[in-house]
Every structure is written in structure tokens, then in C-alpha cells.
A and B are shown apart, each in its own frame.
Chain A
């Protein structure tokens, strides 16, 4: 039972344009959501997070939107850069815990 779903396994975007990565969840008890980025042969690195009491959080080029009624969140990267090419994982947790439920990831490729 996949509680966190990333339905697009891959996404290709031109440099300078917007990248939108999507994530859906089924567990209404999730109240904290995170995005991680992973390069080959490296561990995932934390990118941005959002609490369920908010619907938007920004950090530089990265913005995460949360739609609780739709159980949907998205990560916007503007403008996209070739260095953003990586696998992006959406994750969720119930309460304050290090037990994260991850999606299966979306591979983003930013081309010149």
C-alpha cells in the first residue's frame, strides 16, 4: 500500500523554465511533508519542507505547495538549472518523527 505516490517517474524541462514535481498521499494523518533530492552515488539531501498548517513554503528557487483537501503537494523549481537534474523524493510523516514515508521518486532532467 503506497501511502505516498509520485506518479511521474521522469520529467524533462528546458533550462530556465519551471519544473513542477507532483506528489499525492492517502494518509490523512500525515502532517509534515518534505522533498529530498538525490544524485547518483550519493545519499538523499533535504531540500524543503512544509507543515500541514501551511499551504505554501518558499526557499529561493524552490516552492512547495500543499493542498490538504486534495491530499496533494507539488514542488516548483523556478528557474530550472542543469544542476537540478536529479531524482526528487517526496516524503511525509505523522507528527514529529524520523520515520518518513517516501514516494518512489521522479527523475528530473534539465536540458540546455
Chain B
């Protein structure tokens, strides 16, 4: 069974640009969540989607947005990039919304903003 797949794995952008990250969950998983990992802050929750609906949103500015498609694949977008957006963005999937909190994480997309 393939794991959670995130693309691209690495990308470099400049301030002011926008970026779209993609996540394909484990086959059969309908819940997708996104986290931002930075050295000083650990993992911080961004969004949670289930059946194309956003169930929860973290404390991030409106520049951070996301969506989920009918095949459970998800994308997140960050507009007007800032230097502080440099981070590892992790996608996780689970079989059911809020199953047990046991999330299956992808390897992440490492974003560098110059």
C-alpha cells in the first residue's frame, strides 16, 4: 500500500511569489491534514479536510489556504510568500475524520523563501 505522497519535495521561491503544494493520501483515506514544521515551533496545524470540507483550521493568516478534491487528494496554497514561510510542510492522512489521531505523514515539501 503506497504511503502519503507529497509533491514537490523541495522548492525555492522568492518573497511575494505564491506556491501550491500537493498531497495524495493513502488509498482509501478520506481525511487529510496539513502541518508546518519549523525549527523553533515544532509542528503546527494548518488545516484538516474530510470529504472536500474543511473541518478545522489552524491559527495561520489568510495567505494560507487549502482544498480537497473528490478523490481525497489535497492541495495547499501560500500566497505573497514571506521569509518566515520557509518550512517543511507535512501532509497527513487518516481513514476517518478524527479517527484516533493516528495520522500517516508524508515526507514533506521543503519550501525555502529567499
Which residues does B use to contact A, with CB under 8 Å?
4, 31, 33, 35, 40-45, 48, 55-56, 58, 90, 92, 94, 97-108
1/0 per residue, CB under 8 A from B, across A33-52: the answer is 01010000111111001000
A69 within 8 Å of B by Cβ?
no
| Residue contact B101 to A32, C-beta cutoff 8 Å | yes
Among residues of A, the one whose C-beta sits closest to the C-beta of B44 is A102
Name the A residues within 8 Å of B43 (CB-CB): 44, 89, 91, 100, 102
Could you tell me the distance in whole angstroms from the C-beta of B23 to the nearest C-beta in chain A?
Answer: 11
* Cβ A99 vs Cβ B106 within 8 A: no
Partner of A105, one of B35, B42, B55, B97: B42
How many chain A residues touch the partner (CB < 8 A)?
24
Contact A91 B44 (CB under 8 A): no
Residues of A within 8 A of B (CB): 32, 34, 36, 41-46, 49, 89, 91, 93, 95-105
Q: Shortest Cβ distance from A98 into chain B, in angstroms?
A: 5
Identify the closest chain B residue to A44 (Cβ). B105
